[in-house]
Amino acid sequence: MNIVRWEPFREITSLRDAMDRLFEDSFVRAPRLWPTAGAWDLPVDMHQTDNDLVVKASLPGFKPEEVDISITDGTLTIKGEHKEEHEAKEEEYFYKERRYGTFSRSLSIPVKVKSDKAEAVFEEGVLTLTLPKAEDIKPKQIKVKARQIAEGKKAEAKS
């Protein structure tokens, strides 16, 4: 039998970790696992190209008419409502996990865009917004020109 030295601080730390896990598991609920009644998060991707800001949002099962998009003071808001289909009585369900209800997601737009030229396309459950960037923030290419040295200056430079 091996003798193990007792370290009280290690025991206290492991007890504290166990208590933290107990309280987190009991009282803190992750919003993605347990959405509040009728509300849920809208996952989005946002990236930029040289000319556009592109936003993609996953909206499986939605129809284009159920989605509302607005841009106000540099904030993009995507919201909508998906109504529940009543196919069977509550007591006949084994699982009922599909989400219904309203959603709203507001995102700060990091660059100036021309909101009047925005395009929205809905394809296979993915909403793609293309927002053209304002002219003043688009990268501009400046052409470098070579200047010819005058003949007189060439002669001075050689001496």
Count helices and strands (H / E) in the chain.
2, 7
Strand locations in the chain (E): 44-48, 52-58, 67-72, 75-82, 101-108, 119-123, 126-132
User: What distance in Å separates the CA atoms of residue 67 and residue 102, rounded to the nearest whole number?
Assistant: 10
* Residue 26 one-letter amino acid: S
Q: Which domains does the chain have, with CATH numbers?
A: 35-136 (2.60.40.790)
Structure token digits, residue 112:
């100036």
Report residue 147's pLDDT band, with 50, 70 and 90 as the boundaries.
Answer: confident
Mean pLDDT estimate for the chain? 78
State residue 77's pLDDT score.
93
State residue 100's pLDDT score.
75
- Sequence-distant (6+) residues with CB within 8 A of 59 are 42, 67, 80, 122, 125, 126, 127
Q: Give residue-wise pLDDT tens across range 36-69.
A: 444 467 889 999 998 999 999 998 888 888 899 9
Q: Give residue-wise pLDDT tens across range 72-110.
A: 988 999 998 877 766 666 677 777 777 777 888 999 999
SS3 (DSSP) at 155: helix
User: What distance in Å separates the CA atoms of residue 71 and residue 150, rounded to the nearest whole number?
Assistant: 56
User: What distance in Å separates the CA atoms of residue 159 and residue 148, rounded to the nearest whole number?
Assistant: 19
Q: How many CA atoms lie within 13 A of 37 on its CB side?
A: 0
Separation of first and last alpha carbons in the chain: 96
